[in-house]
Every structure is written in structure tokens, then in C-alpha cells.
Structure 1
Amino acid sequence: MGSTPTSGTKFMDTPTLIDVANKGINSRLTERRLRRGTQSLASLRNELSVVEEQVQHFAEEVHDLEIRALVSETPLADAESRDAMRHMQAITKHRDYLRGAIAELEVRQDDLLDKLGR
């Protein structure tokens, strides 16, 4: 039995004990990776939620400071406006990074689910 041919026989489609054991090990490793990935996704999504709120806050602050800079026409107001804009750009860049990381992790999770389904 098994998948080792003997003289005059063809390969059999039945798995050997080694095949079954390897599939079980691979299955457990894949499941472990899926669990870790799920935890990472939850963490990244929570962080993204916080960062989205920060982006909204900074957008409002930038808008207010830009108006203040236009009205007051002082160097200090201009500097505050530019500083707020830099903070906004930094937090927006971080938000974009998180979105990309989530997308990549979702693709990896899908691949692992496909692998587990085989």
C-alpha cells in the first residue's frame, strides 16, 4: 500500500503515514499562523481606528490655524500653521502605512486559508 510503486504497479493515490503526518503538522502550523495573523489584524485595526481619529483632529486644527494665520498675518501664526500641517502629514503617512499593512496581512490570511482548505 502507500504511494511507493512496486514492479509492474502504478502510483497509488492513497497517502502514506508520512504524508498524513506532514499534512497534520502543516495544518497545525497554518492554523497557528492564522491565529497570529488574526491577532495582528485586530491590533492593526484598533490602531488604525485611533489614528483615523487623530487625522480628523489634526485636519480640523490645521484648518483653524490656517484661518488664524490668514487673519492675523503674523510670523508666529504662520509657524503654528506650518507645524500643524507637518503633524497632519506625519499622522496621515502613518495611517497610510497601517492601511497597507492591513491589506498585506489580509492577503496573507487569505493565502493561509486557501492552503488550509487543500
Structure 2
Amino acid sequence: MSRDRIERRLRGVGQQLNALRTDLRVCEEQLVQVSEEADECRLRALVSETPLAEREYREAQRHADRLQRHRDEIAARIVRLEADQDALLDRFTAL
């Protein structure tokens, strides 16, 4: 692979990493909020012992679980891209 092509790919990977890191920060902030909301719903469900409160808790917890999975997917993509970046840097320095 040519030096120019490696440089282009490195720039592209760097841009993707920056975007994903921003997404990860936003997702983590949202996850804190949604998890707190789910905890509050859980407490309300325990105290009130009504079917409606229980349903609200389950919905809030499902939302928090989905957001956690999304956060984990973003983190995994970052790890893969960092590995790709390392491999490209190794190729670049080997030229």
C-alpha cells in the first residue's frame, strides 16, 4: 500500500474515532440520566405497588438497557478502529 493511501486511511480513521468518541460521551451522559430515571421508577413501583408503576419501571429499564447496549457497541467500534489505526501506523513506519 502506498504512503499516500495509508495517510488518507489514517486521516479517515482519525475522523471516525473523533466522531465516535463524541458519540460515546453523549451516550454516556444520556445513560446516566436514563439510569437515574429507571431507578426512580423502580422506587415508585416498590412504594406504590401498582401495575402502572411497575410497567413504567419496566419500560424505563428497557430503555436504559438499550442505551447501555448502544454505548457498548460504540465502545467496541472505537476499540476496533484503534486497532486498525495501530496497524496502519505500523505499515506507515515500515515504509
**Taking structure 1 as the reference length, what is the TM-score of the superposition?**
0.78
User: Superposed, which structure 2 residues align to 1:1-118 within 5 Å?
Assistant: 26-118=2-94
- Number of equivalenced pairs: 94
Q: Which has the higher relative contact order, 1 or 2, with Cα contacts under 8 A spaced 6 or more apart?
A: 2
Larger radius of gyration: 1
CA distance in 2, matches of 1:99, 1:67: 30
Of Structure 1 and Structure 2, which has the larger fraction of its residues in helix? 2
Alpha-carbon distance, 1:59 to partner? 1.1
Structure 1's unaligned 5+ residue stretches are 1-24
Q: Distance in 1 between matches of 2:30 and 2:51?
A: 26
Compute the displacement of 1:58 (Å).
1.1
Report the residue type matching 1:53 in the other structure: E
SS in 1 for 2:7: helix
Counterpart-to-counterpart distance in 1, 2:4 and 2:39: 52
